[in-house]
Chains A and B, each alone.
Chain A
């Protein structure tokens, strides 16, 4: 098309709008014409204003303020201000806190234990689901069931599953789980009641987290598997490659992007673990008598808030942020090397 002046373009547009809309050249000219661009400048900001104002108050300002509070030695929000000194004392306070060490240990262990288990189980289930035809939809529905649940409510159910009814030391009703492991000759374990050990509590929390994490992972991995080109498997079949070899040499490399995604998100989620433990143990974050035994970093932050120890809470939340950034970076580096395509 020959070059047109802006006026000619406008004329064309007005004489036959439908045709003009079909015409790429004209569309391009209209699109880039300064007329529309300039008018949209302020209009766009009007459209964005509600979101931006809310984000400024409730996201960007808090972000800056968290750094500020964390870096003012001994900062509290209890009322009168003394001049605070800038420094890292809040961070030192957090790190030297006995409670915090327990929280950090719990959080890290929860991640390290649950992420590999739930990812492996989810991968196996997804592969199994992908290999069957009859009943596939039924199994899918069942495995997605835990997805839409209330973390607190189902945590309370897990508590009941592991709970024993006892009067003093005399166990009246053994937990249903203990009944079950009793079938295999194991001794009953005090999982969540008074005097239960840290390890037993950890087992319950990990079981719950794995149970809760499965549906999302199965969903993503199954989606990945279903998109894998069938030709790879047919080629493997012709070469009479064993099933196990096919799994490690074809399936895993082809779903590696989904695996990486699932692992990163569950690490991030794991470091922010809080609600599931509140669901099981309540806000004491541990069985009666050993409160705080199962506390996590997020739990530590929220424990500081009602006492207005916001400087310490901010420092702890920044440590959490730092951990998450480091883990994400490591995951990114590792998956760059191992994720195929």
Chain B
């Protein structure tokens, strides 16, 4: 019975198939319509991305072309989209006017010293948190993590007093303690970053504990183990920290502005902001200023092009910039 039924159905379909032609046509039309939709969707997607990309790029483009314009062209009635004549003189003006050479050297010095010292402090404490057992480990680690919640402005106020020799619990300012306008004060208060300790500790924790115990029974000292085994295995995190710290020195504004805004100690960012590009006729020489901005941006671009993956590693976990 069932077999018969099935047969009839099969026969029916076979018989009906020539009659299904209009239906098939419909399916084809639907497919075409879908295809058109798909193309339109892709077009809209690419159009949207292109417009957004142009908006994102525009400031960079404007910076570059403005830096290559003469003052006359910059002041022309209609802003030109490409300089008539490339005026490279602006870069020389920027270098002398903003004292860029000294600013570069200061920033390089402060950046390098603070990166090296900061790495030492970070590696040591990350090792203690990742490998060593001691009482109160979780409490101390929790306390450190909690400081990440606090906005930096809270620290800055007191730190500014401390380095100015105006220790809050002492009645008179101690002028001998006033170490503002030195490189020390740019480096020391910013040495410890809890975020870097956290980042490196996570990396250290991924190294199997058995390795440590094997080294222990071989009689390797903790320090040697850290130096010979853990550091080589954590190179990429160390590189991430180095880049972020150097970029931090490059982009730091608030603290250098507060404590070292004299010409002998300015860093690149506060130097750039403070530099005057006023022409004798009281006009601002914007092309030269844009040239200075472009020069300051170049190292960051190079870092971005060549070391992007290291930055992204650290960044996607923090939301901290620089």
Binding site for B on A (CB under 8 A): 13-14, 17-18, 20-22, 27, 30-31, 36-37, 40-41, 43-45, 47-48, 50-52, 54-55, 57-63, 65-66, 68-69, 77, 79-81, 121, 124-125, 128-129, 131-132, 135, 139, 142-154, 156-158, 160-161, 163, 165, 172-176, 179, 211, 214, 216, 219-220, 223, 243, 261, 265, 268-269, 271-272, 274-275, 278-279, 282-283, 298, 301-302, 305, 308, 310, 313-314, 317-318, 320-321, 324-325, 328
Contact = CB atoms under 8 A, between A and B. Distances in A.
Contacts of B124: 47-48, 50-51
B155 A59 contact: yes
B154 A243 contact: no
A174 to B, nearest CB: 7
Given A47-B128, A132-B49, A216-B321, A69 B157 contact: yes
Contact of A43 (B41, B191, B222): B222
A124 B48 contact: yes
A255 B61 CA distance: 33
A116 to B, nearest CB: 17
Contact of B155 (A62, A139, A144, A156): A62
A21 B121 contact: no
A278 to B, nearest CB: 7
B74 A79 contact: no
Contacts of B321: 147, 216
B133 interface: yes
How many residues of B sit at the interface, in one of the four size bands?
A: 35 or more
B296 interface: yes
A317 B134 contact: no
A59 B147 contact: yes
A176 B62 contact: yes
B56 A142 contact: yes
B139 interface: no
A154 B272 CA distance: 11
A131 B254 contact: no
A68 B272 CA distance: 36
A79 B150 contact: no
Q: Which 3 A-B pairs have the closest CB atoms?
A: A21-B214, A62-B158, A265-B319
A326 to B, nearest CB: 13
Contacts of B188: 54, 58
